[in-house]
Chain A
Amino acid sequence: MNWDKRTLFGLAGAVALSLGLAMPAAAQTQPPIRIGVLVALEGAFAAGGADAVRNVELALRQVNHTAGGRRIETVVAPSDTRPDTAVRQARKLIEQDRVDFIIGPLSGSEGIAIRDYAKTIPDRTIINGISGALEMTWVDPAPNVFRFNLDGAQWGTGLGRYVVQNRGWRRIATVAADYSFGYTNFLGFAVDFCRAGGTIVQRFWVPLGATDFGGVIAQLPDNVDAVYLGMGGTDAINFLNQWQQAGAGTRIIGGTIMADQTVLTARGRAKEALVGTLISGPLAEDNPDPAWQTYVRQYREAFPANQRFPSPSLFGTGYYIATQAAIAGLNAVNGDLSDGQRRFNAALSSLRLATPLGEVSLNENRQATGTVFVNEIAEGPGGTLVSRNVAKVDGVNQTLGLTAAQFRAMGLPSRTNPDCRALGGG
């Protein structure tokens, strides 16, 4: 974002080096704090990534680009949701752009790769953007990685219990995307659903980016109360189209990204199948909490209508909260990042951060505990679809209410985990 001389020197250095000249690393200037923003600006989540950049800017504007008495500069490093690109760009931020810490990444597999990279840079800090991979802060977590958003499994919590207890949907079949976020988000739903006594009749996994879902739709059993659909973006739209052509049929329970803005604002009739769908996630658009309402208003005022979403996206909100956390941490240590950022890390660990989504605190794995919202998709004014909040669960922790030992015994998210019967379901 902010362009400065050092990056220019870096470029000039690039030219000099290619000519075989020496390029001494530019000396570090002390006063401003440099934050690297690692974000996907290419691929399936590019629109969400652009919203993330806007939200980092918004959070910094609110504090006049100053925290802990020092000016803040940002460097944006674009990735394409591939883990190797994320690590490359993180390395560029740390080694070439000499940032003090990184906010990011955006997607699940990137998060796991960044966790491993973080262990090689113990003197720098990484505050997760919106990566939802459980493994990032659960399996062998890095001491300098902090996540102030809930993970994909936490996002699924609350929905399972709600559909069993409030709607009486007890027998379901599931169709979800065959990759890490698909498993993780499904696990969160299934743990809750099975513990409330639900039964998963059959599980289907569809590859990311598939176009023909006819086979799966034909195999879906008839004697179920609802179908869980855990897909996102164009996969969700394609599935719904074919689902309607095949006669739709039953009710839908959605994964967190099944009914996000990209699906709800899509053209065509496919989205109509979503009316009445129940989904869960970290935010509710009609959340009456003043903190959320203020945030939405500030977001709308900060950017012209054609350069933003009608309301902050999931991705944008994640980066906004991460930036808020960074600012709060810097204020707590008066901008002192010496001693390998130990004091800054300690301050981050003990933050009780007031965010638009409610108060967030971190556990011993530096993973957030917070609120999950259950929303229902309904018809809004002018044929649009809106999501209405129907329930919320406060204080959802990393182990989804199980003890750490129980959660560990269940195994990591995969095609076959969790075992519904072992959790009390069928």
Chain B
Amino acid sequence: MALTDKSRDQRAGTPSGSASWPDLVMSIPAGWWATGCILLIMPALASDFWLFQVFGWSFCLGIIALSLMFLAGYGGMVSLIQMTVAALAGYMVAILGTSGVQQISLGLPWWLYLPLAILIAAAFATAVGALAVRTEGIYTIMITLAIASAFFYFTRQNYEIFNGYSGFNLVVPPRVLGIDWRQPTAFYYLALVFAALCFLAVVYVARSPFGLALQGIRDNPRRMAAMGFNVVAHRIAAYGFAGVIAAIGGILLVWQNTQVAAFTAGIGAVIDILIIAVIGGLRRPIGPFVGAFIYVLLGTFSPDVLSAFGLSNERFKLLIGLGFLAMVFFSPDGALGLWDRWREARRRPVDPLTGQARPGSVP
């Protein structure tokens, strides 16, 4: 894991102060530029449904899964709390801002409730992190799942703050710069910009001294501790940082749905984030977005696929399940793993003189 990361990171260049702009631009592979351009002109190509429902939703889920990827991929901590953190941020937007439940919502201005929501969610994530980092592996999963379940049942039964089963509806983005941010094109760009910012933040932090130390801790915590790194503090800080990212994703998701309720962070939703991160790939920050896109496509179109073959589309979940199963079976490291292996196979060409595979061409 770590080796691939580092070689890739070096190739892409580090965003240090000494690198001049042209170097920085040249160091980014052409594929990234192409993807970026296509995403930017997408509103000219795709219908509103694709912009809002497929891409918008993918970006929201991708950002939340990105926070899990950061913890799991760089920190070695599989946390199931990320969806809960995201939902808490969404709840805070509904409670502190405006919603259809006027008895509870406080109606603060957006420049106040947005930072507050992110702050509260990040504080919650940090607190959970402080508890979870004392455990390893499966126990981290257990304790975060336990907290996620507790949050779900608490929000479902608490009527004073979280409005129980019904939750909050009509939670819409504020009108900033005179734009209705829930229109398909506007929301697409909003989600795209925040997805890109979160992506770049994770890439940057992963290469910063903090991120490198975190990856060291992932690979050998005892040695890092011997070198004088505070292992527990690094892990808790990672939870805090991932909490901020999950909070941003959660707020976008709530705006997209216009509502938040207990089941937003139900057990199913919590597990979905893990599925998205795993099918996308936990190695690099782009993985969760790929995973979210696959998840959304399967979820949206699998009933149609079944009907296409003249089957009853009640069983659409079967197709989604089979899709995920096939993904994990053929590529345990997700869609990114498939991509990497394909590239590796291409990079090992046959020697034109001998007709045999060229030795030492493995990157």
- Any A CB within 8 A of the CB of B274: no
Note all chain B residues with C-beta closer than 8 A to A112: 169
Contacts of A49 in B (CB 8 A): 314
Given the complex, which residues of B lie within 8 Å of A41, measured CB to CB?
Answer: 313-314, 316
A–B complex contacts, Cβ < 8 Å, 18 sampled: A3-B307, A7-B307, A7-B308, A14-B297, A17-B45, A20-B38, A46-B314, A78-B314, A87-B257, A92-B300, A96-B47, A109-B166, A178-B157, A178-B164, A180-B166, A207-B156, A208-B165, A415-B159
Q: A82-B263, A84-B259, A179-B166 are in contact. Are A17 and B50 (CB under 8 A)?
A: yes
> Given the interface contacts A18-B297, A20-B38, A41-B314, does A11 sit within 8 Å of B304 by beta carbon?
yes
Question: Does B53 contact A91, Cβ atoms closer than 8 Å?
Answer: yes
Size of the B side of the interface (Cβ < 8 Å), in residues, is: 41
B259 and A88 contacting across the interface, CB-CB below 8 Å:
no
Chain A residues with Cβ under 8 A from B48's Cβ? 95
Chain A residue with the shortest CB-CB distance to B315: A41
B178 within 8 Å of A by Cβ?
A: no
| Minimum distance in angstroms from B232 CB to a CB of chain A | 37
- Least Cβ–Cβ distance between A142 and chain B, in angstroms: 13
B264 on the A face (CB < 8 A): yes
In the complex, the answer to whether B310 meets A95 with C-beta atoms within 8 Å is: no
Chain B residues, Cβ within 8 Å of A179: 164-166
Closest to B254 in A: A84
B301 interface residue per 8 A CB criterion: yes
| Interface of A (DSSP majority class) | helix
- Please indicate the chain B residues that have their CB under 8 angstroms from the CB of A8 in the complex: 308
B215 lies within 8 A of chain A by Cβ: no
* Minimal Cβ-Cβ distance residue in A for B34: A20
In the complex, whether B25 has a CB less than 8 A from a CB of chain A is no
Q: How far is the CA of A87 from the CA of B170 in the complex (A)?
A: 12
For A14, what are the chain B residues with a Cβ–Cβ distance below 8 Å? 297, 301
Instruction: Kindly identify, within residues 243 to 265 of chain A, every residue whose CB is under 8 Å from any CB belonging to chain B.
Output: none
Chain B, interface SS category:
helix
| Total number of A residues with any Cβ neighbor in B under 8 Å | 42
A180 and B257 contact, CB distance less than 8 A: no
Closest B residue to A208 by beta carbon equals B165
With both chains docked as a complex, state the minimum distance between the C-beta of B165 and any C-beta of chain A, in angstroms.
4
**Closest CB-CB distance, B303 to chain A, in whole Å?**
6
- Of B38, B49, B157, B259, which one neighbours A83 at CB under 8 angstroms? B259
A23 contacts the other chain (Cβ, under 8 Å)? yes
Q: Is there a chain A Cβ closer than 8 Å to B6's Cβ?
A: no
Query: In the complex, what's the smallest C-beta–C-beta distance from A363 to chain B, in angstroms?
Result: 23
Alpha-carbon distance A92/B297, docked complex (angstroms): 12
For the complex, is A76 an interface residue (Cβ under 8 Å from B)? Answer: yes
A residues near B (Cβ < 8 Å) are 1, 3, 7-8, 10-11, 14, 17-18, 20-23, 25, 41-42, 46, 49-50, 53, 76-78, 82-84, 87-88, 91-92, 95-96, 109, 112-113, 116, 178-180, 207-208, 415
Q: How many A-B residue pairs have CB under 8 A?
A: 96
CB distance from B70 to the nearest CB of A (A): 25
> Interface on B for A, CB 8 Å cutoff?
34, 38, 45-50, 52-53, 57, 100, 153, 156-157, 159, 164-166, 169-170, 257-259, 261, 263-264, 293, 297, 300-301, 303-305, 307-308, 310, 313-314, 316-317
Task: Give the residues in chain B near A17, CB-CB below 8 Å.
Answer: 45-46, 50
Contact between B264 and A84, CB atoms less than 8 A apart: yes
Closest Cβ neighbor of A95 among chain B residues: B49
Residue in chain B with minimal CB distance to A88:
B53
In the complex, what residue of chain A is closest to B35 when comparing beta carbons? Answer: A20
Asked if A84 and B301 make an inter-chain contact with CB atoms under 8 angstroms apart, the answer reads no
Contact A83 B303 (CB under 8 A): no
Task: Look across to chain A and name the residue whose beta carbon is closest to the beta carbon of B258.
Answer: A116
The answer on a CB contact under 8 Å between A42 and B317 is: yes
Give Cα A53–Cα B316 distance, bound, in whole angstroms. 15
| Bound-state Cα–Cα, A376 to B228, Å | 76
Known: A7-B304, A78-B303. A50 touches B314 (CB 8 A): yes
For B170, the chain A residues whose CB sits under 8 A away are 116
Interchain nearest-CB distance for A214 vs B (Å): 17
CB nearest neighbor in A for B165: A179
In the complex, given contacts A41-B316, A83-B169, A179-B166, what are 5 additional A-B residue pairs having Cβ atoms less than 8 angstroms apart? A1-B307, A10-B301, A23-B46, A96-B53, A180-B166
Would you call A23 and B50 a contact (CB within 8 A)?
yes
CA distance A415 to B160 in the complex (A): 12
A21 CA to B45 CA in the complex, in Å? 8
Cα separation A168 to B90 with both chains bound (whole Å): 50
Task: For A22, give its contact among B45, B157, B300 (CB under 8 Å).
Answer: B45
**Minimum C-beta distance from A210 to chain B (A):** 10
Complex Cα gap A424–B323 (Å): 59
Q: In the complex the two chains form, what is the Cα distance from A83 to B169 in whole Å?
A: 10
